[in-house]
Amino acid sequence: MATDRFIDMCGTDAPLADCLVIDGHCHVDLWIGMYAIDRHIEGILEVCDAVGIDKICVNYAACPQMRLGNDRVADCVRRYPDRVVGFCYINYFEGGEEVQQAELKRCFDEFGFKGIKVINVNESYPLACRYFELDDPLQPTWEFAQQRGAPILCHGIVTGEIARRYPGANFIVAHGSAVPDFCISMAKLPNVYCDMSATTMIAGTLELLCDKIGPQRILYGSDLPASDPGQRLGMVMAAHISETDKELILGRNMQRLLDNVR
Amino acid sequence: MRFQFFDANARIGPVPDFNPRHFYTADELLREMDLFGVEEAMVWHAWTNRWDIPMGNEQLLRELDGRDRLHPVWTVMHHYTGQLPHGPELVARALDAGVRMVRLFFGIWGSSEEYMPWAYEDLLAALEQVRMPVMIEWENHPPVWNDLAHICATYPRLPVILTHSKLTQWERNWYPLLGKYPNFYIETAGYQGWRGLEGICRLFGPRRMLFGTRCPTYQVGQAMSMVARTLRPARERQMIAADNLRTLLQEVGC
């Protein structure tokens, strides 16, 4: 059997009880029409309890109305404050500076959210830039993150130029392990992190990322309830990296980012 | 609880894909299985869908010779090109060689291979005759559900296993297949749905899924973890991890 305790646990149902596990990329409830059982917060936490996930960072991206979605996340935070970390979804279609700032303040100051989620919906971001005649429709959001030291989970959108312009914000490349080449190209920027929630990840990808960008820049994420955490945890557990590196990826890195939020 | 695992989908042989942790040989596969605690594996050879089916099948037998935990899976196709014998003869040769499972590939790179019922009827009928499970893979596009339904309906005693499906909750077309055809199975390597195995167990029972890794493309441990951590009784998880596959293999030739 393996000498690595995580590898040894892959074939068991033992929860990851002896290390901090934070899932940095989670959703809740309905999700663009998909079918899934028990995707409400209680169903999600039931699985988290069973596999040993301590906290989940929840956003409601792709909801047609960002306030509605953020309200749903706020309800989860209110009911499970020790387990759920709110990430405020900002939809650049819904307004410019005032709208974004108001929603960010509402979520951070009223609900205690700790992070932000933006998504390039249907690859529309470049079109939105032209429509609003803006260089960057999310500039107010980047500025807010910079002021608060908040992590921003970016599905698309983030570029090296943006990350350089806002060094006080921490940019997480959502599904980054699906685009390891992009993450490696951003490795010189200390405020860019790689989220592990790739739909599929070929063997060796995590080892490659650890080697090229460092384990301290990789964050465990599952994209639940679009995927199963048993499988996603297995990606980290089975990797041929040190146990210390696995502990960083599974939770300590994200905890460090959350502790940094003002 | 620690489960016993029998991998339905392992591969040896070189492939032209980039994979930082690739391995090619039977002994390397056994080392990986030992590291994670996988007892046995059904193994196919990469040559069969990257080079030549007969050469790959023969090479597979040579490389697995003397390794009792690794069981050969031949890749098959219709006989009209002359590459492989006519269905009944091919199945007889497979049984003689100790082969108890075969694979069909459709949509391989550089080919427009598709399921043509009239071209595959002799082969599938021969497989059904001995109840030899057939794994079906559409390599570069989503499964063709109507083809699967046709095979399951036409050959009801033939275990039909969908493999490398990359199924998610967005894909619901396979639920009717599970509901209508008791000879339809899913190999778990490409499946990653939220509480997905649990959901299938609730609707259709635990008999319809077979643990598979598709190593070395994917990590062995991630596939194991998904089965082991499914919220179903341990007996059902053990069925998925190994027992369902063993049952299918025991029925070959009966």
User: Residue A162 has what pLDDT?
Assistant: 93
Q: In CATH, which of 3.30.950.10, 3.20.20.70, 1.10.10.1200, 3.20.20.140 is domain A23-259?
A: 3.20.20.140
Instruction: Convert the pLDDT of each residue in B165-176 to its tens digit.
Output: 766 666 778 899
Q: Which residues of B touch A39 (CB under 8 A)?
A: 194
Integer Cα distance of A130 and B113 in angstroms: 44
Chain A residues whose CB is inside 8 A of the B230 CB are 230
* Domain boundary assignment for chain A: 23-259
> Does residue B1 lie in a domain region?
no
Peptide linkage before B206 cis (omega within 30 of 0): no
Give yes or no for B226 touching A (CB within 8 A).
yes
Q: Is B165 within a domain?
A: yes
Minimal-distance CA residue of chain A relative to B190: A200
Q: In this structure, is residue B72 part of a structural domain?
A: yes
pTM: 0.95
Q: Domain containing B103 — which CATH number? A: 3.20.20.140
What is the side-by-side strand order in the sheet with B160-162?
B6-12, B40-45, B70-75, B101-106, B134-138, B160-162, B184-187, B209-210
Q: Report which residue type is found at A206.
A: L
Check pLDDT > 90 for residue A1: no
Question: Which residues make Cβ contacts (< 8 Å) with residue A57, sequence separation at least 6?
Answer: A22, A23, A24, A25, A26, A85, A86, A87, A114, A115, A153, A221, A254
d(CA A107, CA B208): 45
pLDDT at A30: 66
Which chain B residues are Cβ-neighbours of A8 within 8 angstroms? 37
Between chains, do A35 and B169 touch, taking CB under 8 Å as contact?
A: yes
Q: Is residue B172 part of a domain?
A: yes
pLDDT value, residue A185? 95
Of A17-31, A117-131, B18-32, B235-249, the range with the lowest mean pLDDT is A117-131
Per-residue pLDDT tens over the stretch B93-144? 999 999 999 999 987 655 667 899 999 999 999 999 999 999 999 877 788 8
Look up the ipTM and state it. 0.93
Closest residue to B219, CB basis, from A13, A33, A234 = A234
Domain range for B240? 6-250
Structure-model confidence comparison of residues A31 and A245, the more confident one: A245
Cα–Cα distance for residue pair B38/B8, rounded to 1 Å: 11
